[in-house]
Amino acid sequence: MRDIGHFIGGKHVAGTSGRTADVLQPMDGTVQGKVALANAEEMRAAVENAKAAQPAWAATNPQRRARIFMKFLDLVHAEYDSLAELLAREHGKTIPDAKGDIQRGLEVVEFCIGAPHLMKGEFTDGAGPGIDVYSMRQALGVVAGITPFNFPAMIPLWKIAPALAVGNAYILKPSERDPGVPMRIAELFIEAGLPAGILNVVNGDKEAVDAILDDPDVKAIGFVGSTPIAHYIYSRGCANGKRVQCFGGAKNHMIIMPDADMDQAVDALIGAGYGSAGERCMAVSVAVPVGKQTADRLIEALVPRVESLKVGPSTDPSADFGPLVTQQALDRVKGYVDLGIEEGANLLVDGRDFKLQGYENGYYMGGCLFDNVTPDMRIYKEEIFGPVLSVVRADNYEDALRLPSEHEYGNGVAIFTRDGDAARDFASRVQVGMVGINVPIPVPIAYYTFGGWKGSGFGDLNQHGTDAFRFYTKTKTVTSRWPSGVKDGAEFVIPTMG
């Protein structure tokens, strides 16, 4: 049984609140450990530690900071397998999927090695008589991240890497459901040479979150999770004068045009809809075939594929996906399937009663497939976050385009087609933040930005890419003139460059 506290000032610190939560192993329902849940005083101690350490880190030149990132990458790769196993055991996703989780985070770390270039400001020589103007990017100070259970390596690294690269100190409040990998990430950064206090991990629940939101020394906050909590954090954080970046729920559509390669489309739906048991903010949860013939062909191909999905423990290399993260998550997803039947959708594949011999206490569910789902149903409107795919039939292209564009969420969308004109029109007109063309999960590469629209995103700047460097820095502009260019006498009009 592991006891997991906090990581503050470069070392492990036991919790003092007296409150803990179980860290479960979803594949068999056993308790792996206890994680401490911080109170406001513990969070304040971490912020004070970070605040004291940050000025020296900000004064370290960007190239030296980047070298620490290089060393960190080497350390992670040296224990890639053990990190993936730890992640899989706490989250429930398969080990290959866990490795992908880690790799997508490391790609952002790799991008942030370019911080010396990305932090460059602008310079204008001779903007006016004897006047030069230049700008510089400076760190904000202490910043924080509140990250979800479904990507315990990737999303913390998406936030930690750019924040540290530009000279901030960071407070990470990871999900209390799977805290092991975030804690190990902090340890590895210290081993790589990061000064103590620059990265602190404080485990907790709402009390810890509220302490971050209300702390005057936390200048910026990043969050990924459900839309109601994203809205809460954005509203409260902004009200307290903080820079806030929040990403919420999703209902990602995949449009299948009549000319699409059906085999390719079905493969995409199976992987994007059921991978990681559907616990991805970029999972495809709605398939939209255009025209009856396309829909009938899609259903004919999908049903046997969904029925043959292999559900297994996280450690089974042949499993397509593993268990959901908790019993509560499993009950919630099953409840949505019950609701879909009540609403009149046609359940073609029912995975609710799936049981795995030897793992009867695990949180398993087989794949589910609905046909004839309509936009007025709750199973269409709401995020299910499980291995459930809904087919919404569209009569024509314009109807298909309208569905994701008018949905409350606007995270990701995909279109499968051989028609370049249709793809180009779709990418231009669809009201969604990230678009895939024959790509089912359009998560951008690290040097582009990740972010949804509408109810999926709150704030002006996205995750990773150049937006992250803007989010975690403030711009200072300097107008400079030296005595040889100064005229005698006071000037009472607004300065101009004429």
Q: Is 134 helix (H, G, I), strand (E, B) or coil?
A: strand
Nearest to 30 by CA among 314, 293, 247: 314
And the tokens for 348?
A: 């073609």
- Please give the C-alpha separations between residue 156 and each of 33, 103, 145, 447, in angstroms, as whole numbers: 21, 12, 7, 17
**Rounded CA gap, 174 and 76, in Å?**
19
Separation CA 183–CA 181 (nearest Å): 5
For the annotated catalytic residues, the residue numbers are 281
Local structure of 161: helix, strand or coil: helix
209, HSE (Cβ side, Cα atoms, 13 Å): 19
What tokens were used for 456? 């999926």
Rounded CA separation 313/363 (Å) = 10
The DSSP call for residue 230 is: H
Per DSSP, 481 falls in state E
SS3 for 213? helix
What's the token pair of residue 327? 């019993």
Distance CA 153, CA 289 (A): 34
The DSSP call for residue 399 is: H
DSSP for 428-448 reads HH---SEEEES-SS-PPPTTS
Exposure of 144 in the CB half-sphere (CA atoms within 13 A): 31
DSSP state of 371: E
Distance, in Å, from the CA atom of 11 to the CA atom of 194, rounded to the nearest integer, reads: 12
DSSP track, 315-357: T-TT-SB---S-HHHHHHHHHHHHHHHHHT-EEEE--TT---T
Instruction: Find out whether 158 and 105 touch, Cβ atoms under 8 Å.
Output: yes
Q: Both tokens of residue 110?
A: 């790799």
First to last CA, the chain: 72
Q: Find the length of the chain.
A: 498
Tell me 278's DSSP state.
G
For tokens 């990737």, name the residue.
154
Structure tokens at 345: 């959708």
Tokens read off for 61? 């030149």
The separation between CA 13 and the C-alpha centre of its own chain, rounded to angstroms, equals 27
